[in-house]
Structure 1
Amino acid sequence: MTTPLNIVFAGTPDFAAQHLQALIDSEHHVIAAYCPPDKPAGRGKKLTACATKVLAQSHDIPVYQPNNFKEVQDQLDLKALNADVMVVVAYGLLLPKVILDAPRLGCINVHGSLLPKWRGAAPIQRSLEAGDTETGVTIMQMDEGLDTGDMILKASCPILPTDTSASLYEKLAALGPQALVDTLALMAAGDYPREEQDNEQATYAAKLDKAQAEINWQQSARDIDLKRRAYFPWPGCHINLVDQEGKSHTVKVHQASEIEQDVSALSAGEIISADKTGIVVATSENAYRLEVLQLPGKKPLPVQDVLNGRAEWFVAGQSITGSGQGN
């Protein structure tokens, strides 16, 4: 057995907390946890701790919450921990060189893609939107760039036609912790592999933008469905409807599917049919069947229930209007 490592952990959401739990359960020692300052949440805007802080405190792990690492005292506090390695998972901060160099073995990161593909903030969503058939996690040695460090270990999984960002998130949250523990075993043994990334193969996973969540009927049904799956559950793809009185309504699309159908004689966005099986709409290629919708202020409902109350919004031959800015 190799000598256990003294680890400083930095992370924020539940995805990070699942990795922290794996470290707590391992032979290694988590000597401190870093997370952002508590933020207001809920109707009362009460300061609320993130998942990483809650888990760390439940195991009596000291928690540090600097706004960033620009303050010299925050840098000195971390150096004083004398950690072997710092593990960073969905922390949300770019670390300066003084922090990257502080632990004996530097800092490593668990990234939710097979690097160098999908560097950046939203790798899970962007891989779905692009129609990738495989993704995974990469454990990398951090440098000063954005997800540009040397790769130590990768673990992959298929992207199924039924996957959304929610289900893929869960897959990677299960895959990542074991990959992290395996990586730390290599590091503890001394001579661990480091593969330089091919920057020419790199792609960037830009942060999600609500403005891009509107369905653009000028796209193909396949591309529309890829976006729907990528943007579920947040921010959720939607359509904009203008009713007979000229009022605009935003309707979220929770479930839908592509239908192979010749739509060359129809306008993109034109409603082909609307019945209990779904609301079928023409796209630039094939048709798209809306199956579960969420009307403003309501819970998600099957199309049959939506039509019972708002059939006049979905009349065959009419077009679903809107800005069409989603792309």
Structure 2
Amino acid sequence: MANSLNIIFAGTPDFAAKHLAALYASEHNVVAVYTQPDRPAGRGKKLMPSAVKTLALENNSPVFQPASLKNAEAQEELKALNADIMIVVAYGLILPKAVLETPKLGCLNVHGSLLPKWRGAAPIQRAIWAGDKFTGISIMQMDEGLDTGAVLLEKSMAITGAATSASLYDDLAELGPEALIETLDNLENLTPSVQNDEEATYAHKLSKEEARIDWTLSAHQLARNVRAFNPWPVVWFAYGDESIKVWQVEVLESFEELPAGTIVNVDKNGIEVATGEHNLLLTLIQIPGKKAQAVSDIINGKPDMFVVGHRIA
């Protein structure tokens, strides 16, 4: 393999921590770890360290948590580390040009899509939302653009019909560290591939409002939404004064000449609802104050809760 590299690692959530763990297990040397400042969490709003900080402290790595890397003091602090390369995985802070140019070999980013497809904040979710058959990991040289740098290495994987954002996240959290270590071990032999901007798509952030069911969409699209927005923000619909979350559905080949959102049938199999194309069977839902439950369990306790012919907002 290539010579051992002195690495600055920058990341925050568990996805990033998986990559940091791989670096610790490699022949490379992590000289410092950057992560977001501790955030309040839980009912008591106690300040909690990120997954990356926790792992870094367990491995006795120096930890830096600047609120920004745009000021001269933070940049000089990073420069003093004299690193060969900086690895960025879901860090959450913008790296200004001065930082990008500080490490001898620049900065690399691990991105959860096959670039230039799904640049941006939510590549894992958008791949499912769009019905993509494949996704993967891109190891990219960072520049001042949004995921626009040249790609050094890509690894792809199929997206199964049952994949949710949560399960795909876990799969990519296994694939990503493999791709990262392979890149670092072969850095001298890899040829950067410039992205074709004309083929780029953007993975815009998700919102709770986007997760509200639009029954005029096709059942297939709504089913993809359910999987893409799991575990956040979770697909939901309004029923009376309540917001009901939807965790699992099935697409039915049946199609009713009824207004979209009309409840077609309710039985132990679920709640069948007319959509813009085909019917959607809701099988696992969550009513306020309760855990997610099979529809069969809910209607056993409240048989009149969902009424055939009622139109859901």
TM interval, short-chain normalised? over 0.9
1:255 and 2:253 matched:
no
Query: Structure 1, residues 95-147: CA drift from partner, whole Å, max 9, x if none?
Result: 00000000000000000000000000000000100000000010000000000
Shift of 1:312: 2.6
Which residue number in structure 2 is paired with residue 71 of structure 1? 71
Q: Distance in 1 between matches of 2:3 and 2:275?
A: 60
Tell me the SS of whatever aligns to 1:211.
coil
Shift of 1:53: 0.2
Which residue number in structure 2 is paired with residue 110 of structure 1? 110
Tell me the SS of whatever aligns to 2:302.
helix
Of residues 187, 197, 200, the one that matches 1:199 is 197
Q: Distance in 1 between matches of 2:248 and 2:2?
A: 49
Which residue number in structure 1 is paired with residue 150 of structure 2? 150
Which residue number in structure 2 is paired with residue 324 of structure 1? none
TM-score norm. by structure 2 comes to 0.99
Structure 2 runs not aligned, ≥5 long: none
Matches within 5 A, 1:201-240: 201-240=199-238
1:129 and 2:129 matched:
yes
Number of residue equivalences: 313
Contact kept? 1:134, 1:159, Cα under 8 Å: yes
Q: Distance in 2 between matches of 1:316 and 1:278?
A: 12
Contact kept? 2:69, 2:94, Cα under 8 Å: no
Query: Structure 1, residues 288-309: CA drift from partner, whole Å, max 9, x if none?
Result: 0000110001011110111123
Tell me the SS of whatever aligns to 1:210.
coil
Q: What amino acid is aligned across from residue 34 of structure 1 in structure 2? A: Y
Which residue number in structure 2 is paired with residue 286 of structure 1? 278
Tell me the SS of whatever aligns to 2:304.
helix
Which residue number in structure 2 is paired with residue 319 of structure 1? 311
Query: Structure 1, residues 160-182: CA drift from partner, whole Å, max 9, x if none?
Result: 00000001001100000000001
Q: Distance in 1 between matches of 2:261 and 2:2?
A: 62
Which residue number in structure 2 is paired with residue 165 of structure 1? 165
Shift of 1:191: 4.1
Q: Distance in 1 between matches of 2:156 and 2:114?
A: 7
Shift of 1:320: 1.0
TM-score norm. by structure 1 comes to 0.94
Q: Distance in 1 between matches of 2:62 and 2:302?
A: 55
Contact kept? 1:6, 1:31, Cα under 8 Å: yes
Q: What amino acid is aligned across from residue 149 of structure 1 in structure 2? A: G
Shift of 1:311: 3.0
Structure 1 runs of 4+ with >2 Å offset: 308-313
Which residue number in structure 1 is paired with residue 30 of structure 2? 30
Contact kept? 1:241, 1:313, Cα under 8 Å: no
Which residue number in structure 2 is paired with residue 49 of structure 1? 49
Cα RMSD for the two superposed structures: 0.8
Q: Distance in 2 between matches of 1:299 and 1:262?
A: 31
Q: Distance in 1 between matches of 2:106 and 2:212?
A: 42
